[in-house]
Chains A and B, each alone.
Chain A
Amino acid sequence: KQEVTQIPAALSVPEGENLVLNCSFTDSAIYNLQWFRQDPGKGLTSLLLIQSSQREQTSGRLNASLDKSSGRSTLYIAASQPGDSATYLCAVRGSGTYKYIFGTGTRLKVLA
C-alpha cells in the first residue's frame, strides 16, 4: 500500500532563503507526482507535475525533482518570499490506478 510522507510538518525561514521541501513514497511504481500549494481554508493550487520518466520540472522559482528508485521528491523554492507562506502537499499516482495518494503537507512560513 502506497504511503506518502512529508517531513518536516512545519518550517519557518527568513525571507530570501532557498529551501527544500521533502516528499517520500514507499512504492516506486508510480505514474506521476504532483506538488500543490494550499492557502488556509482554500483549495489546492497545482504547482508542478512530474511524470515517472522525468527527473525534474521547473516553474519560475520552483524546481521539483523526482528520484523514483529511492522513493523521493523534493520541491526547491529559491529566494523565498512571505507570499510563499502556505502548506505544500505532494501527491503520488501509482501505476495502474487512478488514485492519488496525498502526503499530509509541510506548513511553510516565510518571515519578512
Chain B
Amino acid sequence: DVKVTQSSRYLVKRTGEKVFLECVQDMDHENMFWYRQDPGLGLRLIYFSYDVKMKEKGDIPEGYSVSREKKERFSLILESASTNQTSMYLCASSLALGTYEQYFGPGTRLTVT
C-alpha cells in the first residue's frame, strides 16, 4: 500500500512565523503535490513537483514556497504566516504523470493566530 505521511495533524502558529509542513511518501513516486482545502472552495493546488529539485507553481502559490531535496520528501514553506493561510493542507503523490492516480496524506490543519 502506498503511504503518504505528513509531519503534523494539527499546527498552531503565530502571524509572521515561518512554517514548515513536511510530506513523505514511501513508494518512490515521481510526482508530489501540495493542496489547501477550504470550505466552499474545495481543493486548490499550491505547488507541484515532478522530480527532485523540480517544481512548478499551481493556482495559488503566493505566500508559499516548496523544497524537494529528496525524492520521497516534499516540504511546503510559509515564509511569513498570515491568518488567511489558516486552512487544511493536503499532500499527494503519484507514480508519474499519465494514468496514475493520486494518493493523499492525512492532512495538516494549520491555524495561524
A residues sitting closer than 8 Å to B (CB atoms) are 31-32, 34, 36, 41-46, 49, 51, 89, 91, 98-100, 102-105
Contacts and interface: CB of A to CB of B under 8 A. Distances in A.
A99 B42 contact: no
Interface residues of B, number: 25
Interface of B: 4, 31, 40-45, 48, 50, 56, 58-59, 90, 92, 97, 99, 101-107, 109
19 contacts: A32-B99, A34-B101, A41-B107, A42-B107, A43-B90, A43-B107, A44-B102, A46-B102, A46-B103, A51-B99, A89-B42, A89-B43, A91-B43, A91-B102, A98-B50, A98-B97, A99-B48, A99-B58, A102-B43
Contacts, number: 50
B45 A100 contact: yes
A44 B109 contact: no
